[in-house]
């Protein structure tokens, strides 16, 4: 019997912590989008991964945390970096080769057959992958990039709270009717 209660308590704590973490991330994403900045927590930026080029380590639809690079950072073969391409697209791939004394890098997605076509210049590196991943949260993160998605994330919780309040109020108003019905049945006996 005690094991069942302990198991239920652990499950409730785990669920609550997961919801809190997701709520903090959601609030962070929405507020950073409104201010025009990239979402970050404790100095680490969050990036959504929406391709399978780094699977199985980084699943499609995940959020990854990267440490923003600063001048003088050194990278090694095997480091996973996030960089900007010529097309102004963020890509997260692994360094497979270092060129020109550490100023250019050949990169490759773990799930890709060959290396990327263009070497990455050190100035185009945004950050280095920290190894922290939240699976599937990237889809939600991507939705917030549109104005409609951000608006829904701002208004949807309010609408849900109002709906929950109305349902609770309706249930509360029905309680006296149940008591009246039970009192009438008791007095008829």
Q: Which residues are catalytic?
A: 51
Strands (E) across 114-164 are located at 120-121, 125-134
Angstrom distances, CA of residue 148 to CA of 49, 124, 155, 186: 21, 30, 10, 56
- Assigned token pair, 103: 């100023």
- Dihedral, 119, 125, 127, 131 alpha carbons, nearest 10: 0
Nearest 5°: the CA angle 126, 49, 151 is 95
> Do β-strands 80-84 and 120-121 pair in parallel, antiparallel, or remain unpaired?
unpaired
Continuous segment of H or E residues that includes residue 91:
strand 90-99
């Amino acid at each position: 019997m005690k094991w069942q209660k302990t198991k239920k308590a652990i499950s409730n704590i785990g669920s609550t912590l997961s919801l809190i973490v997701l709520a903090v991330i959601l609030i962070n994403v929405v507020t950073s989008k409104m201010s025009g900045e990239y979402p970050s927590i404790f100095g680490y930026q969050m990036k959504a991964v929406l391709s399978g080029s780094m699977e199985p380590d980084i699943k499609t639809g995940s959020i990854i945390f990267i440490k923003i690079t600063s001048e003088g950072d050194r990278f090694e073969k095997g480091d996973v970096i996030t960089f900007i391409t010529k097309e102004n697209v963020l890509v997260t791939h692994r360094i497979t080769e270092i060129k020109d004394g550490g100023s250019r890098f050949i990169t490759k997605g773990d799930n890709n057959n060959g290396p990327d076509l263009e070497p990455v210049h050190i100035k185009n590196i945004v950050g280095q992958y920290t190894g922290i991943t939240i699976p599937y949260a990237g889809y939600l993160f991507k939705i917030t990039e549109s104005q409609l998605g951000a608006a829904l994330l701002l208004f949807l919780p309010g609408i849900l709270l109002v709906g929950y309040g109305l349902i609770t109020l309706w249930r509360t108003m029905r309680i006296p009717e149940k008591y009246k019905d039970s009192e009438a049945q008791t007095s008829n006996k």
